[in-house]
Amino acid sequence: MSINHIKRRYQKDLTKLPKIFRNRVVKQNNMFTLPTFENKLPILPKEEYKTMTQTGYTEGDLVYITKGEHKGTISTIFRYSKEYDGLFLSDIIEKKIIPKDQWFDQQDSFLVDYPKLIPADSVKLAAKDKNDKGEDYYIVAEEVVFKGKYYDDRYKKWLPRRFVKHHEHIEVPWPNPPTEPKAGELSTEGETVFEKTWEFQSLSVPPFPSTIVNELRNPYSKHKARVLTELQARRLNKPTMPLSKEQQIYLAKKQQSETEQPTELTEEVQDFIGERIANHLNSITNPHLKAHLDALSKNTINH
């Protein structure tokens, strides 16, 4: 990237500092500036910049000031400052004192008219219309709603239509842009731009020579999900230690013992067990114990 982009990394980004530090830095910056040149409004971070359709108004629109010194005035927007979310109106001017070494040519007074920066909160969209008698009257919209889309040839863009909220039959059309877009030195003519020189025609024709893919795409990008091939995975993971003889024997035995499932008793064994129990029971003389055992034998086990 260019040097200016790199230099920005070392500059203090006011929008990212916490409020306390920000105020301090602003104070330090304003130490040697005259009070008339101090900026009272805070700077917005880039993510919070508002576009035409987010603010609801643009250059050339009428606005009504709802707060502050100039409350009640209707004026045209001269410029919208997206960094400060403020407006410069064509009628709201303040006088600033300028020291002599900063005078421009043909200046003869210390006081100079400067447009005043008005915060966007204290401003509402206004519109002018003619009533039945032909007299001008103004409408101020509390809020603005966007509906529908149309192609505006003046702006060369697709724009939504503006309506006053809760009174959606009232449309406030977009104003004429202040300057007609002129072709600059670096502009390309419309005809050349719309000339179609590429058409997708074949699945097997690459869009550009395959040798330059790595110039457009970083093959070592750390932001991509890195997938290892099997070989790479094997190389990067430690190998398993082969089992020693003792371990093998142990494991084989364990496996064997696991596979040894309990077998059913054979008839011989059953008879043997039965005989022994019968002999024991028959040898019991105590009548109470016998009665207890009888009662027990009638119990059933509920599985």
Partner 1 sequence: MRRFSTTTIAQARKLRFESLKDIKLRAPILPTHKNFDVSPDHPLWQFFPNGNESLAYRPASELDATSRSWTMSELRHKSFDDLHKLWYVNLKERNILAKEMWLLKSIEQVNMGQYDELDAKLVLNQKRIKQVLLERQTSYERVKTLDTEVKEYLEDFEQQYLNANEQELLEMNDKLVRLQYAIFGIQPTLSDIQEVNEDLVNGIGYVGRLKSQRYVTENPDCGLELPLKGIVEELPFLFKQPSEAVEEVLALREQQTPMLPKPEIFEYLTNVLEDLKASEIEQDQ
* CA-wise closest residue to 74 among 127, 35, 114, 118: 127
**How far apart (Å, rounded) are the C-alpha atoms in residues 279 and 231?**
72
Residue 239 interacting with partner 1 (CB under 8 A)? no
Give min distance, CB of 190 to partner 1, in A: 10
Of 14-22, 44-52, 177-185, 266-274, the segment contacting partner 1 by CB under 8 A is: 177-185
The answer to whether 112 and 96 have CB atoms below 8 angstroms apart is: yes
Residues in Cβ contact with 147 at an 8 Å cutoff, skipping those fewer than 6 apart: 160, 161, 163, 168
225 binds partner 1 (CB under 8 A): no
Q: Verify binding: residue 104, partner 1, rule CB under 8 A.
A: no
By CB under 8 A, residue 9 contacts partner 1: no
Beta carbon nearer to partner 1, 151 or 198:
198
Integer Cα distance of 226 and 279 in angstroms: 77
Does residue 217 belong to the site contacting partner 1 (CB under 8 A)? yes
DSSP string, 153-168: TTTTEEEEEEEETTEE
Phi and psi dihedrals of 257, rounded to 5? -65, -30
- State the nearest-atom distance from the C-beta of 11 to partner 1, in Å: 12
- How many other C-beta atoms are found inside a 10 Å radius of the C-beta of residue 171? 12
Of the two residues 2 and 279, which places its CB atom closer to partner 1 in the complex?
2
Question: Which positions ≥6 away from 62 have C-beta within 8 Å?
Answer: 74, 75, 76, 77, 125, 126, 127, 128, 138
Q: Report, in Å, the least distance between residue 198 CB and partner 1.
A: 4
Instruction: Say whether residue 31 binds partner 1 (CB under 8 A).
Output: no
* Beta carbon nearer to partner 1, 2 or 299: 2
In angstroms, give the least distance from the CB of 194 to partner 1: 7
Identity of the residue, 40 or 217, whose beta carbon is nearer to partner 1 in the bound complex: 217
Tokens of 150: 């149309």
- From the list 50-58, 112-120, 178-186, 292-300, the region that binds partner 1 by CB under 8 A is 178-186
Tokens of 259: 């596979």
**CB 200 → partner 1: shortest distance, Å?**
8
Nearer residue to partner 1 within complex by CB, 214 or 248: 214
- Which residues in 180-209 contact partner 1 (CB under 8 A)? 181-188, 193-198, 200-208
Q: Residue 114: name the closest of 33, 49, 39 by CA.
A: 39
Cβ atoms of 59 and 80 within 8 Å: the answer is: yes
169 binds partner 1 (CB under 8 A): no
Residues that bind partner 1 (CB under 8 A): 1-5, 181-188, 193-198, 200-208, 213, 216-217
